[in-house]
Chains A and B, each alone.
Chain A
Amino acid sequence: MNANMRQRVLDALLDLVLLVSFLLATAPRMSGIPVHEWLSIALAVVVLWHLLRHWQWIVQVGKSFFGTLTITARLNYLLNVLFFITFVLLMYSGIAISESAMPSIGTRYFDNRAWRMYHHLFSNITLIIMAVHVALNWQWIVNLFRHRPKMLSTGDAS
């Protein structure tokens, strides 16, 4: 396994961790509120790392967005932008209604029905977008687990 392949496998593992953590974070009744909140904060850090890992893709596709780009790539890019926006709003609304993590670092518990409602709404929207995001990059994931380095060097999942 060469360095490039190793890096790709590491990326895939990280993405898998992201997917599983996000699914766990959507079940606060099962995990409990403190785990839900701290896991979500950790998730934000991993998302940041994910974005940094795929920075080249973001810049390249962003530059050629109005140029020669396939409809699928354009849709994928727009979906990722929407994913970022909904994820930020999900995190922000979560912080606004935090009962455990934020109060433990000294901020006041802010009980607001509107933010609670929007948190649920953003959670559902983010879940839908994440499912489509995984589906659109499904071939990349499949290729990775089939260990085809040649194909891996041409694809990028962001």
Chain B
Amino acid sequence: MKVIVRVLLIVVAAVSVAWLGNFAVTTVATTMPRSGEFRPRHDDHEHHDHAGAGRAGELGASLAFVGGIGGMTIIASRWSRRLRQHKRALH
């Protein structure tokens, strides 16, 4: 029973966020007419049809992105912890 209530809460939260997002995007799309227009399907398939190195490159870029940002955050949090310890030691 508890799990069902929790799942329902998460779903309600998700639907609310999606509804708000939809509202925001629809509002932006109507104020900028060209951004929301319909286009023939073939236009949007251009970027899916590349072959070769670009395919693996996409995953590599994501990995590098996550590794870079994650690494920098870890280093920053360690520095911040050391700084706090240093300040505490001074007092």
Docked-complex contact B58 and A27, CB < 8 angstroms: yes
Query: A114 an interface residue at 8 Å Cβ cutoff?
Result: yes
**Contacts of A33-51 to chain B: CB distance below 8 A:** 33, 48, 51
Q: Interface SS of chain B: helix, strand, loop or mixed?
A: helix
How far apart are A17's CB and chain B's nearest CB, in angstroms? 15
Q: A111-B38, A128-B69 are in contact. Are A136 and B77 (CB under 8 A)?
A: yes
CB neighbours (8 Å) of B70 from chain A are 131-132, 134-135, 138
**Contacts of A86-134 to chain B: CB distance below 8 A:** 88-89, 91-93, 109, 111-118, 127-128, 130-132, 134
- Separation of A112 and B30 alpha carbons in the complex (Å): 12
Selected contact of B25 from candidates A55, A114, A138, CB within 8 Å = A114
Docked-complex contact A88 and B36, CB < 8 angstroms: no
Docked-complex contact B14 and A30, CB < 8 angstroms: no
CB neighbours (8 Å) of B69 from chain A are 128, 131-132, 135
Q: Tally A-B pairs: CB < 8 A.
A: 109
- Separation of A51 and B67 alpha carbons in the complex (Å): 24
How far apart are A64's CB and chain B's nearest CB, in angstroms? 19
Query: A155 an interface residue at 8 Å Cβ cutoff?
Result: no
Name B36's closest neighbour in chain A (CB-CB): A114
Docked-complex contact B74 and A138, CB < 8 angstroms: yes
- Separation of A83 and B77 alpha carbons in the complex (Å): 19
Q: Interface SS of chain A: helix, strand, loop or mixed?
A: helix
- Separation of A28 and B45 alpha carbons in the complex (Å): 12
How far apart are B40's CB and chain A's nearest CB, in angstroms? 8
Docked-complex contact B77 and A135, CB < 8 angstroms: yes
Query: A72 an interface residue at 8 Å Cβ cutoff?
Result: yes
CB-based closest 7 A-B pairs = A135-B73, A131-B69, A27-B59, A27-B58, A30-B55, A92-B18, A135-B70
Q: Which of A's residues lie within 8 Å of B, judged by CB? A: 23-24, 26-30, 33, 48, 51-52, 55, 72, 84-85, 88-89, 91-93, 109, 111-118, 127-128, 130-132, 134-136, 138
12 sampled A-B residue pairs with Cβ under 8 A: A26-B58, A29-B48, A51-B10, A52-B3, A72-B77, A85-B17, A93-B25, A113-B36, A114-B28, A131-B70, A132-B73, A134-B66
